[in-house]
């Protein structure tokens, strides 16, 4: 325990001390540094495969996937529609509020609030909201809408800030602010905002599906049941339908139909219990107040000393080991994601493969990036037993596929000389050096996302912060859960600021379409 603590502390101090260097290290040194740190983390990480015979289960799973049973889930159509409806309502609300927040994003309080709400993962939001609103459609919708509002606000604000349309120069004096906004600024960035929002919707579908794992009536609900009972044919059918949903997005998510979808979606969320206002009040005035302070006389020193014990117990026995496991796992997963990206992106690039090869590559990447990392980790945990290994593999595959997709597309746009080398030489001496800056930018951008995901994987039993949050929730100790969620959020904001710092010092492009 002491060694990994010291190691993690050293990493964090090292990262923050980089600021004092007179010349910032090169991209090569930084990359190497991250690899060395990750190798160090491996020493402390538990990577064992505990199942005695993982192959039997893997064979059963494989069999399930070649024999999908689409009739196993009753009401599969309804389940899919609900999954879409939750995503639709959540993303629409998130984008709507995000858009307005983006207009006042220069206010520090707004910026910080947005950073804070997006530092908390949808699943944690859902766990909190379950306590306040119970198993109601609103819980699922808000669990998506709240963090997405924070994310959209940031991206929209950055987009607006970077646009300097020439038309601004020729506007007549005295043009109103509102007119300028709608007729000059917005049209300039509209396409970008539209693309980003539709990408967000794809993320929303994944979030919506995953929310089923904690009880909302989306596809995850049935996936969890199917996997945990070993009904792999049913699980396969659900996953294939989910891939289908995402792959066919561009055929059914048409701007013309959007209005119709948005109006219909709230009615398709399904029924839930009624919301009682006294539950909401109780949550804020009693549940989240630390137990030693609740109903105790705050004037007594006794109260405060038991509060100090409570705080110490929570910080030393839970938060600290949770933070260490989260950091170790994050750093390993980040570097593995990087390596996997470099191996995967040529699969979809016309510089390396023909049409057939690229189609297969695309298919592989779609499957990997469409499967939420939470579900991937769940599958690997079933196969290998609980250690950091399933989490590392899941995070790397999912995030690696996302970045590989972006880098692959970017590499297509490169223009080569007629006498450029082929194969490995082309990869090593030309393409890789030319895409490396983009690659690092995407990877650093993903750093904070990977950390957020690492934390929630604790719900599955890996001892990251999420494990302790889930335990507190299981004991209905919301005061503890909330404090641990706050700590997770602060850690996330810290990683986010480090990532921004690295990106700006390595002069990596800030303009990134996706997150």
Partner 1 sequence: MNLLKNLLHTTILGLSLTISLGASAKDSFVFTAIPDQDESQLRERFDKVAVYLSKELGVDVEYIPVKSYAAAVTAFRNDQVQLAWFGGLSGVRARSLVDRSEAIAQGFEDPFFETYFIAHASTGLKNSVDFPREMLGKTFTFGSKGSTSGRLMPEYHIRQQFDKAPQDIFSKVGFSGNHSKTIALVQSGAYEVGAVNFQVWKKDLAAGKIDTDKVSIIWTTPSYPDYQWTIRGDVDQRWSAGFKKKVTKALLDMKDKDLLASFPRSSFIPASNSDYDTILNMAKEIKLID
Identify the residue among 5, 51, 303, 420 touching partner 1 (CB under 8 A): 51
Find the shortest distance in angstroms from Cβ 396 to partner 1.
22
DSSP string of 361-426, one letter each residue: HHHHHHHHHHS-HHHHHHHHHHHH-SSHHHHHHHHHHHHHHHHHHHHHHHHHTPPPPTT---HHHH
| CB contact set of 350 (below 8 Å; sequence gap of 6+) | 358, 412
Whole-number Å distance between alpha carbons of 81 and 172: 49
Residue 72 DSSP SS3? coil
Whole-number Å distance between alpha carbons of 197 and 240: 24
Identify the residue among 21, 108, 263, 299 touching partner 1 (CB under 8 A): 263
Provide the token pair at 201.
């919707």
Residue with Cβ nearer partner 1 (150 or 217): 217
- How many CB atoms lie under 10 A from the CB of residue 175? 12
Name the nearest CA neighbour of 95 among 41, 156, 141: 156
Residue with Cβ nearer partner 1 (221 or 352): 221
Our finding on whether 430 is near partner 1 (CB under 8 A) is no
Residue 428 DSSP SS3? helix
Identify the residue among 25, 42, 44, 57 touching partner 1 (CB under 8 A): 57
Residue with Cβ nearer partner 1 (340 or 478): 478
Q: Which stretch binds partner 1 (CB under 8 A): 20-28, 45-53, 111-119, 434-442?
A: 45-53
Reported as type and span, the H/E element at residue 469 is helix 465-474
Residue with Cβ nearer partner 1 (217 or 408): 217
Find the shortest distance in angstroms from Cβ 474 to partner 1.
4
Find the shortest distance in angstroms from Cβ 424 to partner 1.
41
- How many CB atoms lie under 10 A from the CB of residue 303? 15
Identify the residue among 269, 314, 401, 407 touching partner 1 (CB under 8 A): 269
Our finding on whether 189 is near partner 1 (CB under 8 A) is no
Our finding on whether 215 is near partner 1 (CB under 8 A) is yes
Identify the residue among 273, 299, 356, 415 touching partner 1 (CB under 8 A): 273
Beta carbons of 239 and 223 less than 8 angstroms apart: yes
Give the largest CA-CA distance in the chain: 82
Residue with Cβ nearer partner 1 (265 or 379): 265
Our finding on whether 490 is near partner 1 (CB under 8 A) is no
- Print burial letters for 410-425: b (CB count within 10 Å at least 16), e (below 16): bbeeeeeeeeeeeeee
Find the shortest distance in angstroms from Cβ 212 to partner 1.
8
Identify the residue among 7, 86, 201, 213 touching partner 1 (CB under 8 A): 213
Beta carbons of 395 and 377 less than 8 angstroms apart: yes
Find the shortest distance in angstroms from Cβ 461 to partner 1.
6
Q: The tokens 């398709």 sit on which residue?
A: 268
Residue with Cβ nearer partner 1 (62 or 244): 62
Residue with Cβ nearer partner 1 (28 or 256): 256
384-413 footprint of partner 1 as x/- string (CB under 8 A): -xx---------------------------
- How many CB atoms lie under 10 A from the CB of residue 491? 23
Find the shortest distance in angstroms from Cβ 232 to partner 1.
14
Q: Which stretch binds partner 1 (CB under 8 A): 8-16, 166-174, 257-265, 501-509?
A: 257-265
Reported as type and span, the H/E element at residue 137 is helix 137-162
Please work out the total of residues on this chain that contact partner 1, with binding judged by CB under 8 A: 57
Residue with Cβ nearer partner 1 (295 or 419): 295
Environment class of 274 (CB within 10 Å of its CB; exposed 0-12, middle 13-18, buried 19+): exposed
Residue with Cβ nearer partner 1 (13 or 474): 474
Give the CA distances from residue 391 to residues 131, 155, 340, 342, 460, in Å, rounded to whole numbers and listed in that order.
Answer: 27, 28, 15, 20, 10
Our finding on whether 258 is near partner 1 (CB under 8 A) is yes
Our finding on whether 237 is near partner 1 (CB under 8 A) is no
Find the shortest distance in angstroms from Cβ 56 to partner 1.
8
Identify the residue among 52, 66, 166, 415 touching partner 1 (CB under 8 A): 52
Our finding on whether 325 is near partner 1 (CB under 8 A) is no
Our finding on whether 281 is near partner 1 (CB under 8 A) is no
Whole-number Å distance between alpha carbons of 197 and 122: 17
Residue 176 DSSP SS3? coil
Provide the token pair at 336.
């593995």
Q: Considering only residues 62-101, where is the footprint of partner 1 by CB under 8 A? A: 89, 92-93, 96
Provide the token pair at 434.
């030319």
Our finding on whether 165 is near partner 1 (CB under 8 A) is no
Identify the residue among 101, 130, 144, 342 touching partner 1 (CB under 8 A): 130
Find the shortest distance in angstroms from Cβ 273 to partner 1.
3
Give the CA distances from residue 282 to residues 123, 307, 430, in Å, rounded to whole numbers and listed in that order.
Answer: 22, 21, 62
Find the shortest distance in angstroms from Cβ 98 to partner 1.
11
Give the CA distances from residue 469 to residues 227, 283, 443, 452, 462, in Å, rounded to whole numbers and listed in that order.
Answer: 23, 17, 27, 13, 12
Find the shortest distance in angstroms from Cβ 50 to partner 1.
5
Residue numbers at the binding site for partner 1 (CB under 8 A): 50-53, 56-57, 89, 92-93, 96, 130-131, 134-138, 141, 182, 186, 190, 213-215, 221, 224-225, 228-230, 255, 258-259, 262-263, 265-267, 269, 271-276, 279, 291, 385-386, 461, 470-471, 473-477
């Amino acid at each position: 325990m002491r060694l990994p603590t010291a190691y993690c502390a050293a990493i964090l101090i090292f990262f923050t001390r980089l600021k004092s260097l007179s010349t910032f290290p090169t991209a090569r040194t930084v990359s190497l540094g991250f690899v060395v740190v990750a190798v160090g983390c491996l020493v402390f990480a538990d990577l064992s495969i505990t199942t005695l015979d993982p192959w039997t289960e893997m064979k059963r799973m494989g069999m399930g996937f070649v024999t999908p049973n689409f009739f196993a889930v009753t009401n599969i159509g309804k389940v899919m529609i609900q999954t879409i409806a939750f995503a639709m309502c959540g993303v629409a609300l998130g984008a709507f509020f995000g858009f307005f927040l983006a207009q006042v994003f220069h206010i520090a309080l707004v910026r910080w609030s947005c950073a804070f709400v997006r530092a908390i993962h949808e699943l944690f939001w859902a766990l909190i909201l379950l306590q306040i609103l119970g198993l109601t459609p609103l819980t699922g919708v808000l669990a998506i809408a709240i963090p997405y509002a924070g994310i959209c606000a940031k991206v929209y604000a950055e987009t607006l800030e970077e646009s300097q349309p020439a038309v601004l120069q020729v506007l007549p004096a005295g043009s109103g602010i509102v007119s300028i906004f709608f007729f000059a600024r917005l049209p300039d960035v509209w396409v970008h905002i539209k693309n980003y929002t539709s990408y967000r919707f794809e993320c929303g579908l994944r979030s919506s599906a995953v929310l089923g794992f904690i009880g909302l009536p989306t596809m995850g609900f049935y996936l969890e049941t199917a996997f945990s009972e070993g009904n792999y044919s049913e699980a396969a059918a659900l996953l294939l339908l989910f891939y289908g949903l995402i792959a066919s997005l561009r055929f059914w998510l048409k701007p013309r139909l959007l209005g119709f979808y948005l109006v219909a979606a709230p009615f398709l969320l399904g029924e839930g219990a009624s919301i009682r206002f006294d539950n909401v009040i109780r949550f804020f005035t009693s549940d989240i107040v630390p137990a030693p302070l609740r109903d105790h006389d705050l004037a007594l020193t006794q109260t405060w000393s038991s509060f100090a014990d409570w705080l110490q117990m929570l910080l030393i026995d839970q938060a600290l080991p949770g933070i260490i496991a989260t950091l170790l796992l994050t750093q390993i997963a980040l570097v593995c994601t990087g390596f996997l990206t470099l191996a995967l992106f040529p699969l979809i690039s016309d510089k390396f493969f023909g049409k057939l090869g690229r189609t297969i590559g695309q298919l592989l990447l779609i499957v990997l990036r469409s499967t939420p990392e939470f579900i991937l980790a769940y599958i690997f945990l079933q196969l290998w037993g609980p250690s950091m290994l399933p989490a590392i593999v899941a995070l790397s595959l999912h995030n690696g596929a996302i970045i590989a997709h972006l880098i692959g597309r970017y590499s297509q746009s490169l223009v080569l000389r007629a006498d450029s080398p082929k194969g490995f030489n082309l990869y090593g001496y030309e393409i890789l050096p030319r895409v490396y800056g983009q690659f690092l930018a995407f990877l650093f951008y993903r750093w904070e996302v990977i950390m957020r995901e690492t934390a929630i994987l604790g719900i599955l039993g890996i001892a990251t912060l999420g494990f302790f949050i889930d335990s507190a929730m299981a004991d209905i100790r919301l005061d503890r859960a909330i404090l641990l969620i706050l700590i997770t959020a602060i850690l996330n904001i810290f990683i986010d600021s480090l990532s921004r710092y690295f990106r700006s010092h390595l002069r990596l492009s800030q303009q990134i379409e996706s997150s």
